[in-house]
């Protein structure tokens, strides 16, 4: 098991003290990659706003020497602690951990950690689909996502790849990809 992962924070230096606006995990130069290629996500737009003001986000490694699993757990715990802008917190993260062990209705109890695991899985699925679309700038179909990422479903012999449709829909809503209708199908491209 490799212990090369770390958890880091990005802070807005325009506030005193500098305010944490993003929590992430990674290896190597992951923490600084955001400054080299600013994307169009909410976090990316905020980073650009800081850069446009003549400042540079402060990058702080919170914990180092972790396994990937340890880094993921600490990342999710910190995101839960700070909260995201949607929940009244300060983070521009798109993974939104929710309170755990909550009852959705009288018949469904959500076990501890289930929501965080689902959000973590969603983040990994989104990253995989984004990578696939970046490597194929001419565009990809839902069937490409399902097939090449090993996410195909088999519904009594009929393909029902709703999982990848759902993730593509989330990426569309977040403004990370765009779609074009080609005949009866839709092709997806990274913005």
What is the C-alpha separation between 25 and 73, in angstroms, rounded? 10
What is the token pair recorded at 162? Answer: 């709703």
pLDDT in tens, 53-68: 999 999 999 999 998 8
pLDDT of residue 60: 93
What is the token pair recorded at 13? Answer: 């230096």
Q: How much is the CA Rg of the chain, to the nearest whole Å?
A: 18
Mean pLDDT, the chain, whole residue set: 83
Average pLDDT over residues 29-38: 86
pLDDT of residue 113: 61
Whether the model clears a pTM of 0.75, i.e. scores above it, the answer is no
Q: Give domain limits for the chain.
A: 5-96, 108-190
Percentage of the chain exceeding pLDDT 70: 87
What is the token pair recorded at 22? Answer: 């993003």
Do domains 5-96 and 108-190 share one topology? The answer is: no
Residue located via tokens 């995201």:
84
More confident residue, 166 or 105: 166
C-beta atoms surrounding 140 within 10 Å? 22
What is the C-alpha separation between 94 and 86, in angstroms, rounded? 9
Average pLDDT over residues 133-140: 92
Considering the four listed CATH numbers 3.40.1440, 1.10.3470, 3.40.50, 3.30.70, the one that applies to the domain covering 5-96 is 3.40.1440
Average pLDDT over residues 155-182: 80
pLDDT of residue 41: 86
More confident residue, 150 or 112: 150
The pLDDT-based confidence of 38 (bands split at 50, 70, 90) is: confident
What is the token pair recorded at 146? Answer: 């399902």
pLDDT of residue 99: 41
List, in sequence order, every residue forming a beta bridge with 180; answer none if it has no partner. 187
Look at the domain 108-190 and name its fold. Arc Repressor Mutant, subunit A (1.10.10)
pLDDT of residue 96: 60
pLDDT in tens, 78-124: 888 788 887 778 899 886 654 433 444 567 776 666 666 777 778 88
């Amino acid at each position: 098991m490799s212990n090369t992962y770390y958890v880091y924070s990005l802070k807005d230096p325009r506030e005193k003290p500098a305010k944490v606006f993003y929590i992430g995990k990674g290896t190597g130069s992951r923490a600084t990659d955001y400054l080299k290629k600013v994307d169009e996500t909410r976090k990316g737009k905020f980073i650009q706003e800081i850069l446009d003001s003549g400042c540079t986000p402060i990058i702080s490694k919170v914990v180092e020497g972790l396994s990937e699993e340890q880094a993921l757990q600490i990342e999710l715990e910190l995101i839960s602690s700070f909260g995201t802008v949607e929940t009244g917190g300060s983070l521009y993260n798109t993974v939104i951990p929710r309170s755990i062990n909550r009852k959705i209705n009288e018949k469904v109890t959500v076990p501890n950690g289930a929501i965080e695991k689902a959000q973590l899985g969603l983040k990994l699925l989104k990253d995989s689909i984004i990578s696939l679309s970046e490597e194929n700038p001419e565009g990809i179909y839902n069937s490409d996502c399902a097939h090449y990422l090993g996410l195909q479903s088999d519904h009594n012999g009929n393909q029902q790849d709703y999982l990848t449709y759902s993730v593509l829909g989330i990426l569309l809503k977040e403004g990370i990809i765009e779609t074009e209708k080609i005949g009866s199908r839709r092709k997806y491209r990274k913005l």
